[in-house]
Amino acid sequence: MDLFFIIIISVISLGAVFAIIRFIKGPTASDRVMALDTLSVMLIAVLVILGFLMKRYIYIDVSLVYAVLGFIGVITIARYLEGGI
């Protein structure tokens, strides 16, 4: 089943490349933040899949912490855009 996971991770990476293009192109700050949010969600999924492939339980904890940090970051930037941090 190794081929299955290679295909899975390449397809997700292709999606991530699209998000990175939007991150570079994005006309406004909000677009960039949104692309970053999507990227971090993709990264969480890839981290969990990699943790399963390498049999490392610690990756699950890392992805949980990453999810929390990404959430706090997006909320903070949204507050900044709103005009009162």
Partner 1 sequence: MNYIGYFLISIGTIFLFLGGLGILRMPDFYTRLQAGTKASTLGAMSSILGIGFLQPEWFIKTFIIVVFIAIANPLSSHALARGSHKAKQMPFLKDEKIGDAYEAVEEKLHKNQKKEDKK
Residues near partner 1, by CB under 8 A:
1, 4, 8, 11-12, 14-19, 21-22, 28, 30-31, 33-35, 37-38, 41-42, 44-45, 48-49, 51-52, 57, 60-61, 63-64, 67-68, 71, 74-75, 77-83
For residue 64, the minimal CB distance to partner 1 (Å) is: 6
- Please tell me the distance from the alpha carbon of residue 9 to that of residue 12, in angstroms, as a whole number: 5
To the nearest 10°, the Cα dihedral for 16, 18, 23, 27? -160
Q: Which residues contact 37 (CB under 8 A, 6 or more apart)?
A: 70, 74
Q: Tell me how far, at minimum, the Cβ of 77 lies from partner 1, in Å.
A: 8
